[in-house]
Amino acid sequence: MKHLLLIGLLAATAHIGLHAQTTTNATQNEWTTITNGNLWIDSEGNDVQAHGAGFLKVGDTWYMIGEDRSSSWHPDVNMYSSKDLVNWKFERKIIENKVTHPDLGSKRMIERPKLMYCAKTQQYVVWCHWESSNYAASEAGVFYSNTVNGPYTYHWGGRPLGVKSRDCNVFVDNDGTAYFISTIEENQHLGLFRLSDNYLSAVEYTELFKWKSREAPAIVRVGDTYYMLSSACTGWDPNPCMLSYSKSLTEGWSELKQVGNHIAYDTQAASILTIKGTKQTTHLYVGDRWQDPRLPESKTIIFPISFTSDSCLFDYTRQFDINYTTGEWRPTSTSDRYIDKRQWRVLDCSSAENRQADYAAHYAIDGDIKTMWQTETPKELIEGMRTRDWRRVERMAKSQHRIVVDMGKVNTIKGFLCTPRTDGISLGLIRNYAFFVSEDGKNWEAVSKSHWMPYWTEIDFAPCQARYFMLTSNERRGVSVAEIDVF
């Protein structure tokens, strides 16, 4: 029995290790690996549920709070702690339906809770979106606690300074002045609310980005410049992330400029973290990959970003190593993980790649994520859309795209990674797919199949022997693939 338990424990550790390998007690030489795409698992083996997350660093510990979307439309607010942003300990539900406030869980729900420490009162303060089920209340909520991990006490809920307020965040400036920033007046503008010295109420507000309908704002200060990332209002669906910057919080914000691809790599901004090391300062973008594929499976995505005087380098990094002592980061080396592709060749593929030499199928296995295989948009689809012949369009959903690859020899494989195009456009993103393997190129077995391929994420399947693989998809508008890797 003991033996079995030990095996179970080892298996559980291996599972966690797969998605979140890490080293702790960081010193100059120690690196933590952050891997994006999968649900995080806490130290008790449960899913980490902290969406729309807010962060506070106390000593060497990060505290993260966020929406628990596991079972309820009315999320509790969970708190987790971590020293490396990978190994998370569940602290507690710091705000709980029914318990913290009688309306929570029925008449009221919380979104995007954000955490601050007020040095003046030595209190921890949470501001959040405090909403009714149909989003008509448009209010903010304030909670406080004398200890970081709560539980938190309800202080106030309402429209700050009488202004209708929804999606939100907080920002504490270098001098300790705190701000609540939210999407105001039916999602039309952003409101920047300066808070009182005790952080418990709003005392003044400035309207920003008038009529621009921005939400999910996240502000960071780098030197004497403030940078803000925000999204458009498209519910839980992703849209482009936009950057704006200014030397003052209340005026002079630059025009909004898109950073990253058309769907912000399937994320929406939640926070920006600053890692100040002995050698450099690294900024980490934290975004929500909502509905992946359903709300409870939403993921938290982290990757390094950097700022220049008038821009932000916002490139998705699926996996990277970070050194919390020096502040440095590097893409994780994957040279030992994936099967060598030098002997691979494309045996077959759908659609007219040859007529589009720049997008030929071999670009999906050439080891360069800047090149891609892209199928031609079917003429029948274009025609169907033009003539509004929806039955014809519907028929196209049944047309199948495929790529068949010969790996040159039989390998034992247990998963694949499909890297989406990296040219900033999201057209051709594969969601529904099937992955087949074969030893002889004649008898095929589907080892993985789903209507939902998570964005740029490794997909595991039971280990098998294969010399050939085939990736198929029924994406109606065609598919684009930068790279396929197998491990």
Q: Footprint of ligand DGJ on this chain (CB under 6 A)? A: 52, 111-112, 167, 215-216, 235-236, 268
Nearest-CB residue for ligand DGJ: 235
**Stretch (H or E) spanning 80:** strand 76-82
Closest distance between ligand DGJ and the C-beta of residue 182, in Å? 11
Closest distance between ligand DGJ and the C-beta of residue 215, in Å? 5
* Complex with ligand DGJ: residue 288 or 475, whichever CB lies closer: 288
Closest distance between ligand DGJ and the C-beta of residue 226, in Å? 21
Strand, coil or helix: 382: helix
Of 279, 285, 286, the C-alpha closest to 328 is 279
What lies within 8 Å, CB to CB, of 49 at 6+ separation is 66, 67, 68, 69, 70, 75, 78, 296
Which two three-digit tokens encode residue 292? 């992946």
Closest distance between ligand DGJ and the C-beta of residue 265, in Å? 16
Spatial distance between the Cα atoms of 248 and 171, rounded to a whole number of angstroms? 13
* Complex with ligand DGJ: residue 127 or 359, whichever CB lies closer: 127
Spatial distance between the Cα atoms of 410 and 467, rounded to a whole number of angstroms? 4
Separation of CA 81 from chain center: 19
Closest distance between ligand DGJ and the C-beta of residue 358, in Å? 37
* Complex with ligand DGJ: residue 22 or 244, whichever CB lies closer: 244
* Complex with ligand DGJ: residue 86 or 168, whichever CB lies closer: 168
Classify residue 266 by its DSSP letter: T
Cis, peptide link before residue 240, omega less than 30° from 0: no
Spatial distance between the Cα atoms of 406 and 337, rounded to a whole number of angstroms? 19
Scan for tokens 């690294």, then name that residue: 282
Spatial distance between the Cα atoms of 147 and 360, rounded to a whole number of angstroms? 59
- Using alpha carbons only, give the angle 298, 264, 109 rounded to the nearest 5 degrees: 40
* Complex with ligand DGJ: residue 263 or 403, whichever CB lies closer: 263
Closest distance between ligand DGJ and the C-beta of residue 435, in Å? 32
Closest distance between ligand DGJ and the C-beta of residue 436, in Å? 37
| Integer-rounded Cα radius of gyration of the chain | 24
* Complex with ligand DGJ: residue 230 or 326, whichever CB lies closer: 230
* Complex with ligand DGJ: residue 229 or 418, whichever CB lies closer: 229
